Amino acid sequence: MLVAMSPRERSPTTVRARREPPRFRLVAVRRVVPVTPRMVRVTLTGHELEGLTVEHPAASVRLLLPSPGAQELVIPSWHGNEFLLPDGRRPVLRTLTPRPVDTEPLELDLDIVIHDDGAVSEWAAAAEPGEPAAISGPGRGYAIDPDAHAFLLAGDETAIPAISQLLETLPAARPVQLYIEIAHPDARLPLPAHPRATVEWCDLPPGATPGDVLVAAVRNADLAPGTRVWAAGEAAAMQRIRRHLFVERGLPRAHATVRGYWKHGRSADTRTTPEP
């Protein structure tokens, strides 16, 4: 028998159950090393990392941290479309880009942007060896299209870890245009070499909206036929880049991967668990 749904039941607020993400693996901080004044590399270790493989560049993991003020890590449980702690609160959970896991010794590196305020940024800036955390993942990375004639990569500081991996992986024979928006000159860092890459660091003027300079760079870029685009950064800016590529330029959707990595003025705490 078919049961008619009321408009309320069909409304967009209806919560759709999602597949439970991969289990959390307990880890501890091994060391924290500054990469630039705007970024630190946090190395995590622990036997539960065994079997975690990161095959593609620009993949993701979720990093779980103790709640503010707590020393102990509580593993949350899955409630259909988000993780919740036993007391009903949302855990501190953020998405980051993993380096491939080292096996000897068993270690995982995360490069984390230090920005004005934010639980993970503050944690990374002050983390000490031995502190507990957990990792779930990996989420999908970028599968390189063998038919691509050229690549355009665009991202802000949070995309530098993914962009570095892409530069290490993209075919050496293909040209790569690269635009990176940085909110401070200190964010510049040496990138992996690619023989056909042209790199432009784009400084965001103080007070400008995050993503403005990156959007302008993509708008002004020449896109040769057969170019594939990968872009990641502030969510509203990525929406503008999508509109430009798909609506104004008519790029086939399959030729671009554009991912919102964070929301200006909004903590990831206020969002349900993102898709991996």
The residues of the shown chain that bind ligand FAD, judged by CB under 6 A, are 60, 94-97, 111-113, 115, 117-121, 157-158, 161, 259, 261-269, 274
- C-alpha span between 30 and 46 (Å, rounded): 9
120/153 with CB nearer ligand FAD:
120
Q: Closest approach of Cβ 71 to ligand FAD, in Å? A: 18
Q: Closest approach of Cβ 270 to ligand FAD, in Å? A: 8
138/150 with CB nearer ligand FAD:
138
Q: Are 182 and 202 in contact (CB under 8 A)?
A: yes
Q: Closest approach of Cβ 221 to ligand FAD, in Å? A: 23
243/264 with CB nearer ligand FAD:
264
244/271 with CB nearer ligand FAD:
271
Using CB atoms, what's the residue nearest to ligand FAD? 118
Q: Are 59 and 141 in contact (CB under 8 A)?
A: yes
76/150 with CB nearer ligand FAD:
76
Q: Closest approach of Cβ 262 to ligand FAD, in Å? A: 4
Instruction: For residue 51, give the nearest of 141, 138, 109, 111 by alpha carbon.
Output: 138
33/172 with CB nearer ligand FAD:
33
Q: Closest approach of Cβ 65 to ligand FAD, in Å? A: 9
Q: Closest approach of Cβ 115 to ligand FAD, in Å? A: 4
